[in-house]
A and B are shown apart, each in its own frame.
Chain A
């Protein structure tokens, strides 16, 4: 669209972008370097520094060895738990969000603006406020300390974001299309299946990426509503660090952090392109 030649202003742009990119990478670099230092070295020198000895063993310990009380299996089992919660909750909240978004933006019905307003307001509700009520709900449903309960919580809470994203995206689909289909006799499901869904992949990718990241990185509910072996990986990371009578194990911790962040990092690495594309189409109101 805007072709420019190799001018001083272009060099300037490259310079600025590189500087900012470097600034963005520094925290990652610090963690990566720390993941290769031993705890003693960190304690005896400083939090930030170049490894003296390359402690690749940290990754081995982080993945399979470190102990949380009597269980010495490293991060491995907890990564699985996180996956068992994150993947279903992401899928469910995305699916339901797209249908709900379609219903309020294209299908329309009485009171749709009101109920959408409440749903969207839900994104502002702080986590802490919801902890105790969820405790009561889980108890009444018999889902205390189950991964199913956690999936349910994340699915329902995720609906606020997914509905909002999808609704704003679907608003760009011309009403005439829907109207014509209705006149032709198409019903709710037909229109969704034939018209809306095929147009949805960009926004679905956005919601999947968003939900995956938020649920994978979530700590508060993961800790409170699970026990022992079922805990998600965020809980395992904190368990690694909270000890009164030890120096913080920053080396293994940093390695564990990187391992735990790998899925979400990969999601953004491969999905980043679609993330932007998904937000491109249509007016995001």
Chain B
């Protein structure tokens, strides 16, 4: 990586230095330095495939995966920025994009986005996140839903289920039936922090996406005291009671075997769980994927979208690389390739998922997204740092995870604690 020699530490609340970028890079061979957390599994495979496409177009791909999860990646990014040597492109998502754009200069992608007509095919809520200050500085690449409902076929048989539950009431009824039919633990979720966050956001958004929007996304004080939140906490308590207490703080993947065998019934997980199940040797016909429960006739979609942000660099070859990368990321063929590897759905709403290479689960997810957007019920996931910046998210999840693990906390108390946490983290 070539280093910039200026030693000034980038500090302060300087405004967005996004300057219009001319494609003055004629003749410069495109090169790209990339930081991401995608080192292993299908994530690693997908970004490697993207890199190959980049090289096919004549570029030099220099991807540096940071082992670990998002924190380690952000540590590395921060270290690079503080050293005056940001990567040309890095993985980032949600409100963190706006926050990080304040500490280092980013690239204005408006021209490229307009040329590709990208804005027309991106959900408006999502687009907003990637153009803080009104200019595009990052590009979303893939979308996951965090509130898909996974059902074990064998558990459904044990419960003699009528059909797939659509509302929370039907969900609860099915869980009771499963219990009565001999399913030891109707819920197969895990106990990690994002998982606990997912339970709550699925409950609240399913009950009322409008309440979710004002309370969780906008942090409106009155909305945080609304009765829907108490109802959501009550629903989460039900879910927690139907889980195996031995799950503790573990990843849901330890429950998969029992889920498939019918000793556990349902899971509210992100769409990625399909890939996990298949990679664990389980078969597609052993489970069903459906949209998460929604009390509002149309599906509710909790969005989690990965994106790339572009940091300003002076070198012409890096700038050429950024142009090429931006074009690739917005390309429907690339998004198709990427999502087929990771099991997500493309950001572009105009990609047809009817073809081969897409699973039913992905088709159902995409359909749910379309319907949810049309009904204005597509909201941003709290548990995956899309609704709020990391500091606020962590403070709220502290409350949620404590609530799930401690039966003595009542929904009223939980609502109060959540309000306090939001206050304290402002």
A/B: CB atoms within 8 Å of each other:
yes
A residues with a Cβ closer than 8 A to B are: 39-40, 43-45, 47, 67-70, 131-132, 135-136, 138-140, 142, 144-145, 223-225, 227-228, 231, 235-249
Closest to B35 in A: A227
- Decide if B281 touches A244 in the complex (CB within 8 Å): no
Shortest Cβ distance from B301 into chain A, in angstroms? 18
B69 at the interface (CB under 8 A from A): yes
- Whole-angstrom distance between the Cβ of B75 and the nearest chain A Cβ: 5
Residue B401 at the A interface, CB < 8 A?
no
Q: Are B44 and A67 in contact (CB under 8 A)?
A: yes
One digit per residue, 1 when the CB lies within 8 angstroms of any chain A CB and 0 when it does not, for chain B 132-156 equals 0000000000000000000000000
| Alpha-carbon separation in the docked complex, A131 to B71 (Å) | 13
Contacts of B78 in A (CB 8 A): 135
Stretch at the interface among B1-9, B13-21, B388-396: B1-9
Closest 3 CB pairs of A and B: A243-B41, A246-B41, A239-B67
Complex Cα–Cα for A248 and B37 (A): 16
Report the Cα distance A44→B342, complex, angstroms.
22
Cross-chain contact B79 with A245 (CB below 8 angstroms) = no
Determine the residue in chain A with the shortest Cβ distance to B85: A144
Knowing that A69-B38, A249-B41 are A-B contacts, what are 12 other residue pairs whose CB atoms are under 8 Å apart, sorted by A's residue number? A43-B253, A43-B280, A43-B281, A69-B39, A131-B75, A132-B82, A135-B79, A136-B82, A223-B67, A231-B67, A242-B68, A246-B275
Taking the complex as formed, is B398 at the interface, i.e. its CB lies under 8 A from any CB of chain A?
Answer: no
With the chains together, A281 CA to B69 CA distance in Å? 46
Contacting pair B281 A144 (CB below 8 A) = no
Q: Tell me the smallest distance from the CB of B67 to a CB of chain A, in Å.
A: 3
B158: interface (CB < 8 Å):
no
The stretch of B58-66, B346-354, B412-420 in contact with A is: B58-66
Q: In the complex, which residues of chain A have a beta carbon less than 8 angstroms from the beta carbon of B257?
A: 43-45
- Whether, in the assembled complex, B375 has its beta carbon less than 8 Å from a beta carbon of chain A, the answer is no
Give the docked Cα–Cα distance between A70 and B256 (Å). Answer: 29
Contacting pair A239 B39 (CB below 8 A): yes
Partner of B82, one of A40, A135, A244: A135
Whether the Cβ atoms of A227 and B1 lie closer than 8 Å is: yes
Contact A68 B276 (CB under 8 A): no
Q: Are B251 and A44 in contact (CB under 8 A)?
A: no
Residues B275 and A242 in contact, CB atoms below 8 Å apart: no
* Contact present for A139 and B82 (CB under 8 Å): yes
B211, CB-defined interface residue at 8 Å: no
CA distance A254 to B150 in the complex (A): 30
Structural contact, B82 and A69, CB atoms closer than 8 A: no
Q: CB-defined interface of B17-48 with A at 8 Å, one 1/0 digit per residue? A: 00000000000000000000111111111011
